[in-house]
Amino acid sequence: MATQVVMPKLSPTMEEGQLARWLKNEGDKVSVGEPLAEIDTDKATMEAQALTSGVLRKILVPAGETVPLGQIIAIIGEPDEDISGLVAQAESDAAPAANKQQIEERVEAGQDGAQKELAQVVPGGARTQETIEGQPLKGDVGGQATTGAAQAQTTASDKAQATATQPTDGGNGQRTGGRVVVSPLAARMAADAGINLQTLAGSGPGGRIVKRDIEAAIKEGQQRPQAQAQAQAQPEQRAVETRAQQPAPQFQQPAAASASPYRDEPVSTMRATIARRLATSIGPVPHFFLTTEIEMDKVADLRQQINESDKENKVSVNDIIIKVAAVALVRHSQVNASFQDKVVRYYERADIGVAVAIEDGLITPVVRAAETKTIGQISREVRALAERARARKLQPEEYTGATFSISNLGMFGIDEFTAVINPPEGAILAVGAMQPKPVVRDGQIVVRQMMRVTMSCDHRVIDGATGAKFLQTFKQLLENPLLML
């Protein structure tokens, strides 16, 4: 029996929806749970899924058009069924008011009105029954069906939101509600299996993640590595060769003009396993910490020389640390990286976030391409950014999109500390105070200006040795600043 699909209520405040994109064409088969269309609501771009199977016989609302809740947008039926009556009814447009009321009632009756569902279908135009469930765009968990969703354009308001907050998410869509709704059983199963609930869309009421969603995710996870292994077995070697022939990787230009270009490399099976296992250990970002002590006498001398030569622009030790970190990052691109679920993103530039304490909190303005700037330039830029930060005048593009961060508490007399990574960055460097200490040099106890730094690393992208090598370079450069030249 043919059924009419109506504009679903996909947000509690939604009055109308814009049909962003049809994911099915007329004549396509649709089955329960398949995405039917993307709909821009007042809040986000949502996916409407069919809960009934059949053939998408007729699209009544073309992409780009905005229609009120309850308006019939399509008809699903058997391939050879006569749908002229339903089309006529849709065109006479008698249904919307009644449908809308029913939709409102359903949403109010729902336990979790927020991101709830509901496109509806009117079988034969008579009794209303729910056949489409809207869901927030979800990540490509299953490795299928949602590729389109991942690339879906977001509304203007969403873009504004995305830049205002940390860009935590690359290819994956984001959950609109924030809180993950999950049954206790499903939560436990996900923890056991090392599945990140944030990447799942629940099939239960109000988007609750339930047992069957986890089972499906586990099944997907088991099938995928095998398929991937087969698919990759052959090209693997060639890929290595290709890489060897092309030492300069191609970087993509990001959407935001101020952000660093990057290249995305697929997450390998091993990398995915490391990521999954470690994420179950400590929070969503598995941190580990590397500490080293650095002799800063030469940096202190360098700073003095710079400041004597340019009285107008007093540089700080931290400015030099920023420069050195940037140079070291470019040499160790594995550290200048970000875990993005499906890919590890390696940045071309070292855009350094500098933690600045402000009243009631802190903010990390970004020094872009610090590796290309002189210490004097960095110094001027940091000072200006810090002043603007304290005046709360920073624009979002000035404090988002860093590839690495530095937090310095030396001025507070802190010897050493650990900092928390600012996702999606891969690492953050915590810098302690520089102070004179007795050290052994050539068998003699001498006094040197010593400084301890601790790097927090996201173990999903950075392994111990990788981080250690970066710190080794960082230390070498600080102890012999001339090596930067």
Please identify every residue annotated as catalytic.
Answer: 459
Nearer to other proteins by Cβ, of 184 and 413: the residue is 184
Strands 72-77 and 54-59, how do they pair?
Answer: antiparallel
Binding-residue total with other proteins (CB under 8 A): 12
Tokens of 484: 């930067």
Q: Which helix (H) or strand (E) holds 212?
A: helix 211-233
Please say whether the beta carbons of 6 and 71 come within 8 A: yes
Print the binding letters for residues 168-197 with other proteins: x by CB under 8 A, - otherwise: ---------------xxxxxx---------
Of 27, 64, 85, 205, the one binding other proteins (CB under 8 A) is: 205
Interface region with other proteins, contact rule CB under 8 A, candidates 200-208, 332-340, 364-372, 470-478: 200-208
204 in contact with other proteins (CB under 8 A): yes
Strands, DSSP E only, in 267-420? 287-295, 337-339, 343-347, 352-354, 356-358, 361-363, 366-367, 404-408
Tokens of 445: 């106890």
Please say whether the beta carbons of 347 and 424 come within 8 A: no
CB of residue 32 to other proteins, shortest distance in Å: 12
Rounded Cα–Cα distance for residues 99 and 71 (Å): 8
CB of residue 133 to other proteins, shortest distance in Å: 12
Nearer to other proteins by Cβ, of 207 and 286: the residue is 207
| % helix, strand, coil for the chain, step of 5 | 35, 25, 40
Of 16, 123, 158, 211, the one binding other proteins (CB under 8 A) is: 211
Which residue in the block uniquely carries the two structure tokens 């990447």? 199
CB of residue 37 to other proteins, shortest distance in Å: 24
In the 8-state DSSP scheme, what is residue 141? S
Of 87, 145, 150, 210, the one binding other proteins (CB under 8 A) is: 210
Please say whether the beta carbons of 287 and 458 come within 8 A: yes
Rounded Cα–Cα distance for residues 148 and 151 (Å): 5
CB of residue 187 to other proteins, shortest distance in Å: 8
Site for other proteins in 414-473 (CB under 8 A): none
212 in contact with other proteins (CB under 8 A): yes
Site for other proteins in 266-305 (CB under 8 A): none
CB of residue 320 to other proteins, shortest distance in Å: 53
Nearer to other proteins by Cβ, of 53 and 226: the residue is 53
Nearer to other proteins by Cβ, of 209 and 450: the residue is 209
Reference 287, options 167, 473, 430, 452; nearest CA is 430
Reference 1, options 127, 133, 132, 99; nearest CA is 127
Nearer to other proteins by Cβ, of 204 and 254: the residue is 204
Nearer to other proteins by Cβ, of 124 and 205: the residue is 205
CB of residue 215 to other proteins, shortest distance in Å: 11
CB of residue 135 to other proteins, shortest distance in Å: 14
Rounded Cα–Cα distance for residues 262 and 411 (Å): 34
201 in contact with other proteins (CB under 8 A): no
Interface region with other proteins, contact rule CB under 8 A, candidates 162-170, 209-217, 345-353, 448-456: 209-217
Site for other proteins in 41-70 (CB under 8 A): none
**Residue 155 phi, psi (nearest 5):** -75, 165
Of 203, 228, 232, 258, the one binding other proteins (CB under 8 A) is: 203
Nearer to other proteins by Cβ, of 86 and 186: the residue is 186
**Residue 379 phi, psi (nearest 5):** -60, -50
**What is the CB-side half-sphere exposure of residue 333 using CA atoms within 13 A?**
16
DSSP calls for 164-175 = HS----SSS---
User: Please, what is the end-to-end C-alpha distance for the chain in angstroms?
Assistant: 76
Which residue in the block uniquely carries the two structure tokens 């199977």? 53
Interface region with other proteins, contact rule CB under 8 A, candidates 129-137, 201-209, 311-319, 466-474: 201-209
Please say whether the beta carbons of 147 and 171 come within 8 A: no
CB of residue 46 to other proteins, shortest distance in Å: 20
Query: Which letter, b or e, does each residue of 125-143 get, where b requires 16 or more Cβ atoms within 10 Å of its Cβ?
Result: beebebbbbbbbbbbbbbe
Interface region with other proteins, contact rule CB under 8 A, candidates 137-145, 163-171, 206-214, 367-375: 206-214
Reference 48, options 103, 110, 111; nearest CA is 103
CB of residue 208 to other proteins, shortest distance in Å: 8
Q: Report the 10 Å Cβ neighbour count for 353.
A: 23
Nearer to other proteins by Cβ, of 183 and 291: the residue is 183
Give the three-state DSSP class for 122: strand
Nearer to other proteins by Cβ, of 44 and 189: the residue is 189
Which residues lie near other proteins (CB under 8 A)? 183-188, 203-205, 210-212
